[in-house]
Chain A
């Protein structure tokens, strides 16, 4: 703000700054003022818009079209109507993949959200240290693939340091990534480890927006930390929490890389999450039409969940002030 006041007069009138509607200007002024800004703004938006159209909008449309075709990428697509969708409905592996994915999402989101919230609240209530906030974010700096490989080694049944410690304690070794019971929870927790810091910082930013005087007033009234958490923090954090949940659920449904480097979908499809099945169908079996149909199904599932989450959590409303 101090910079703005000491800088040469900007093209924005004080009324603009105050948030009132700008007054109509003469044609000439509009050309050099508001109109020029509009063009410049459009220009700045253009690369992102171009990227959106080219890499999101067009591929989505094309993906929907391809879902109605038999397509191996190297020869022209052949229209097959609803064949791929019929196959999908009758494909036990697809339903199994969906089940595995939902299992992963539940574990991942459940553990991640609770842990991230705990970390965020502790960061806000107990420390001002920027170093600590940075440390929390450290695992997020590592790529999913590297994290997956490192955990794969650490959790290896015979050679991993994790199992060496378990065996050292006199317990049975645990095949974390090679047993169908353990594999999905393990992958989910690896990803919790990798992402929890980032989620915690998002929530921490939301917590910073809660006025401190509310806590002070509650303290004066004799409220405990626990009561303040449930009566002040949680209600006021709800919109941020809702957005974070929506983002993490979408991200979780798209889990791929950790599975690819740790289990390859095994053992016996126990970790064959939907994205991995889609990838395998497309790039392994060259069934791009069928893979597109499953991608469209995933899009539909995610859209429905997101709308539901948005409604249920009233993500667009705030209880503040």
Chain B
């Protein structure tokens, strides 16, 4: 019995010890002193960054880059957990939507000593990553814009030429040529088009425009091209604004008109959209919708869909006479408690270099932040016979185009949490747009704290 008790004690002790040491190993993230750990979420980009890492390791003997890729949703949860547990990566791909919160939590390392030259990147990309304290917290990585993807077979059948699709305009009164086009692309069960007599808006077979949900607080691929081309801005200042402007009459008029397209039967209703099962690209791929606003990060997905002949067009010109598209850019950030900070800085400097960005561009997956990287990406897309001018044009065209960024403010997570249900209420439940004024007050109250 005594032996048995001892055995049990020993086994329990061994188990406890193994658990403790197991945790310890997990805490070090399995990385050695000469390793730089790097996290990213896009599986499509992984090969490109693996190629960069290989070149980097060649140039920096003794330094290893360990890349971990995980899906978008898991990525932020794990990153948050890692900050708490002290197992954060040295470097991670950062999103502007999350930047304000990380800056607020003080978990990012200032990157001023990297000597990032803002003029070396596409306009506006580098400036976004400066905190309210004036320090830089991200090195520009890539960029994207939003354009209109359309099913060529359906537009041709509707008699809409590519030139017409690329020259649409809109206004909140009668919707302009844009509304006319999507009305014409909408077909009901009896084969009548949206602009024809007797059109049955309750039994639509093909919607003119796919839905991407209610757009939450940014409306990146939904209402933002319209709100911005009407002259509206998210906040009182371009960066680190102190007041949101969802109470603006212009904004509310745009939202009312945009979601009103669903009531007319041209825009797929909210019920068509689920993040997981039926996003905009799936609606186009399944033939349920003729067009969809989507981002440059979806180019490969649309063009890679079997049996779908895709075209792209710039966003419609608005009441200001200009077109507008959100230009968003990712960056690489270093964590404040990175265990290999020196190595991390070298790696980020390399990631932000034209050399690495040209390598990434060569894969034709994203538009890297440097002009050289962008050129390499355009060439790679051309090789695949994909015309990306609807995405690149707006960045170069300063005369007829406005590019704008995600709103960068404090309490971004609160803004999202409040605006998401409010916008869904307008779209899904036909709640009056005036209600957004109350939500805006709540948001500004939080920002004013």
Contact = CB atoms under 8 A, between A and B. Distances in A.
Interface of A: 32, 36, 39-40, 43-44, 46-47, 72-75, 149, 152-153, 156-160, 175, 177-180, 261-262, 264-269, 272, 280, 283-286
B421 A43 contact: no
Contacts of A261: 276
Which 7 residue pairs are nearest across A and B when measured between Cβ atoms?
Answer: A175-B271, A268-B425, A178-B271, A268-B424, A267-B428, A269-B421, A156-B277
A266 B12 contact: no
Given A178-B273, A268-B422, A286-B105, 12 more contacts: A46-B12, A47-B12, A74-B84, A74-B105, A74-B106, A75-B106, A152-B276, A156-B277, A159-B278, A178-B428, A179-B428, A280-B417
Contacts, number: 98
Contacts of B72: none
A157 B106 contact: no
A278 B322 CA distance: 43
B417 A285 contact: yes
A262 B274 CA distance: 8
A46 B12 CA distance: 10
B424 A157 contact: no
Interface string B405-449: 000000001101100111011001101000000000000000000
A266 B421 contact: yes
A267 B429 contact: yes
A238 B270 CA distance: 46
Nearest to A174: B271
User: Is chain B's binding surface mostly helix, strand, loop or mixed?
Assistant: helix
Contact of B286 (A72, A158, A267, A285): A158
A159 B421 contact: no
Nearest to A40: B5
Contacts of A36: 1, 5
Interface residues of B, number: 41
Contacts of B80: 283
Contacts of A285: 413-414, 417
Contacts of B8: 40, 43-44
Interface string B283-298: 1001010000000000
B428 A43 contact: no
Contacts of B12: 43, 46-47
B89 to A, nearest CB: 16
A72 B275 CA distance: 28
Contacts of B270: 178, 267
B300 interface: no
B77 interface: yes
B1 A43 contact: no
B272 interface: yes
A265 B421 contact: yes
A87 to B, nearest CB: 12
Contacts of B272: 157-158, 178
A261 B106 CA distance: 31
B420 A266 contact: yes
